[in-house]
Structure 1
């Protein structure tokens, strides 16, 4: 019987760690023993601010991801939360993911206002509590000798960790996922800012105590860093499901795509399946113009990938004799395919010798 109970507790690292942390909290009265301080808002290009706390249990964190072993045991711990907030900057220009969709744009946000009140209240609470004004002396002594030390002991165990390169909203869902296996993704910004804001507002109305839905791209990046492969797979699947003809070029030419081979490949595959026709030219031309003026250098590998996709598509459509000519470098004699991007790219190639000046 005991063996079966032990086996059920350890059926997964996550559930076992959560069970252990909950059991331990019965004894010391506090489940969270780590405060992750994270930026939540984009203040200006390259600058972020508005740090906010995410509370978590170190046993669950370390059991779920090896990333936290060094983070919690190394030099990243900033100290006791009760010491105040001076060790964490209110803003930084060294944020590691400038296109993070989980950073809100600068402006007044009710959550930030609430958080400022929370921070201020926590600072006030760290000072000695006033004595109770009513009740007998014995009751006061009991409250002073039991309640206050228990609260202070709990606070002494709450350590702050400063994380500068991923957003508050993303980390909220990472911790929720570690506890429950659940995560909720927001629409991509490329699907429309109004639609994204509307869906997030509706979610907040339905689930007022849950974090707002997070970006699948931000979660993909963070899950990769943390080694949470199942979460990374879910984020990737959600991202692919939200690609469309309306947003494929926006997504293809992001820094996120240029830095993640699997994401870029997913975008190219979507392009090959649904966008290999002349109707795609206006959007593609706009992206090429942006690259041409030097405002989107990271888009160059995307153009190369698109060009390769067009060439491969054209090659697959050729008869065997034409493929042989193609492989031998005489493909200029092969007629282009009308009305498709691969045909357009082929017909746009300059003939041999066109780039040489006359002798």
Structure 2
């Protein structure tokens, strides 16, 4: 039996006796451009043992010996926390997060749907109250769980992370810059898709090398001449050198394609207008890639033995061969 299957079996057995859930994670799931914040907390329920088995980050975060989380973006709360109503996009730290749903503008149909949902919720509350009244008459078992608020990651990304730690499976959604591609709806029993860019950011934060490599590979396979310039302009590219290097390589491979030749001047204009904070990094890396392709010897440092002049090292591509001057030859005249 594989380690992964053994872990799943253990979780199923714990569920039979009601000892499956240890921690509740609450994360924001909606971005409001109108308000400039993230809202709509949703909960995920997890088993600590399953998470700590495959992640040092969770081993530290969920340690019973630790009274406070080791992550400033993780907050423990009991009944209410000031962040529950939402936080600003700046506070969240990733305004362009693809795993956040966009807030829909309210229409007459939306209002009617909300009213129907309210009626259904009221009915469910009534039924729940009846069940609770019945339960109080018999023996009850209350299982305490830890409640944690995560303020820098989308609900969808965190759900995919927990699912990966449970099953070792990950499903990446297409990049938003990929024209004509959309995320398909999934069934409850299927792995939840997430943005590879959002997962790469999270994997770097929790220092999960294997998941980081998977996300980076998914980003790479999604880059083409049609979206690489758009991805180069993203805020995530400015934060992670590995992504910048990869996108520069794709750009260089397609530098003479019609799409790149047509759209590249617009990128240069943005950089020249100081509308792209990491524009200098893009041009520097592109220049390095061009030198590597066409002038490889310039980037290769000269051997130390060839860069010496009277024992003083010289830097740069220049090479000097120093020779001691010949001593004068004594001539005797007889």
TM-score of the alignment, normalized to the shorter chain, above 0.5: yes
Task: Quickly say closer, same or farther: Cα 1:277–1:25, change in 2 above 3 A.
Answer: closer
Task: Quickly say closer, same or farther: Cα 1:18–1:225, change in 2 above 3 A.
Answer: farther
How many residue pairs align between the two structures? Answer: 285
- SS of the aligned residue for 1:25 comes to helix
Whole-angstrom CA distance in 2 between matches of 1:312 and 1:46: 43
Shift of 1:212: 5.0
Structure 2 stretches lacking a partner, 5+ long: 70-74, 299-315, 320-334
- SS of the aligned residue for 2:153 comes to coil
Whole-angstrom CA distance in 2 between matches of 1:123 and 1:90: 22
Residue 95 of structure 1 is matched in structure 2 by 92
Q: Deviations over 1:137-186 (max 9, x none)?
A: xxx8xx7222xx12xx13xx222111111111111111111222222111
- SS of the aligned residue for 1:182 comes to coil
- SS of the aligned residue for 2:84 comes to coil
Contact 2:254 / 2:260 at 8 angstroms: preserved in 1? no
Shift of 1:282: 3.0
Larger radius of gyration between Structure 1 and Structure 2: 2
Whole-angstrom CA distance in 2 between matches of 1:21 and 1:91: 33
Pick the aligned partner of 1:66 from 56, 61, 66.
56
Whole-angstrom CA distance in 2 between matches of 1:236 and 1:78: 31
Contact 1:35 / 1:160 at 8 angstroms: preserved in 2? yes
Pick the aligned partner of 1:221 from 179, 197, 201.
201
Whole-angstrom CA distance in 2 between matches of 1:222 and 1:181: 16
Pick the aligned partner of 2:153 from 166, 190, 193.
166
Shift of 1:208: 5.1
Shift of 1:277: 6.0
Task: Quickly say closer, same or farther: Cα 1:227–1:314, change in 2 above 3 A.
Answer: same
Whole-angstrom CA distance in 2 between matches of 1:273 and 1:96: 32
Contact 2:255 / 2:261 at 8 angstroms: preserved in 1? no
Moved more, 51-60 or 69-78: 69-78
1:150-229 equivalences under 5 Å are 150=141, 153-154=142-143, 157-192=144-179, 195-196=180-181, 199-200=182-183, 203-204=184-185, 207=187, 210=190, 212-229=192-209
Residue 75 of structure 1 is matched in structure 2 by 68
- SS of the aligned residue for 2:95 comes to coil
Whole-angstrom CA distance in 1 between matches of 2:50 and 2:123: 27
Q: Deviations over 1:15-69 (max 9, x none)?
A: 5554444333333x14222111111111138621111112211111122211123
- SS of the aligned residue for 1:162 comes to strand
Whole-angstrom CA distance in 1 between matches of 2:56 and 2:119: 34
Task: Quickly say closer, same or farther: Cα 1:263–1:104, change in 2 above 3 A.
Answer: same
- SS of the aligned residue for 1:265 comes to helix
RMSD of aligned residue pairs (Cα, Å) = 3.7
Whole-angstrom CA distance in 2 between matches of 1:158 and 1:61: 15
Shift of 1:296: 1.4
Corresponding position: 1:289 with 2:279: no
Residue 247 of structure 1 is matched in structure 2 by 227
Q: Deviations over 1:188-238 (max 9, x none)?
A: 11113xx34xx32xx31x525546521111111112222332222221111
- State TM-score, norm by structure 1: 0.67
Structure 1 stretches lacking a partner, 5+ long: 1-7, 133-139, 319-325, 330-359
Higher normalized helix content (fraction of residues): 1
Task: Quickly say closer, same or farther: Cα 1:118–1:108, change in 2 above 3 A.
Answer: farther
1:36-51 equivalences under 5 Å are 36-44=25-33, 47-51=37-41
Pick the aligned partner of 2:294 from 314, 328, 336.
314
